[in-house]
Amino acid sequence: MKIAVCSDHGGYELKTKIIAYLGELGHSVMDFGCYSDKSVDYPDFAFPMAKAVATHVFERGIAICGTGIGVSICCNKVKGIRCALCGDVLSAELTRKHNDSNILAMGGRIIGVETAKAITKVWLDTPFDGGRHEGRINKITEFENK
């Protein structure tokens, strides 16, 4: 799978570990920044990454900042993005099954590396259930298109 990844300084360390993990899993990854733990503004990285996912250059995206909140807000401003902030495996599974989320947000200062890896794996491996959830996703898309 082609996956876009970004972070700010608060998520930089976790992002580097998740990128390595994604490589171990056999995914193709593009790092949209940031590239150090020097203080930066998360919108500068979240918006371009989310646009690349929304335009289907990448199948999915992962955004990490200190809490995951800032990047999730930014990503969800981009038409076509359904970004879910997850701090546990069950939320990651259900957001794929029920929401067909295309970007995963995590907090680098909130969760540990092994939890982040488990969340990432479940989120990548879980398919969208469709069915009754499809209509809900369609309503979101219709609203975005107004």
Active-site residue set? 65, 98
**Residue 13, φ and ψ in degrees, nearest 5:** -65, -45
**Residue 104, φ and ψ in degrees, nearest 5:** -105, 130
Run of H or E including 61: strand 60-65
Q: How far apart are CA 124 and CA 138, in angstroms?
A: 22
**Residue 121, φ and ψ in degrees, nearest 5:** -60, -50
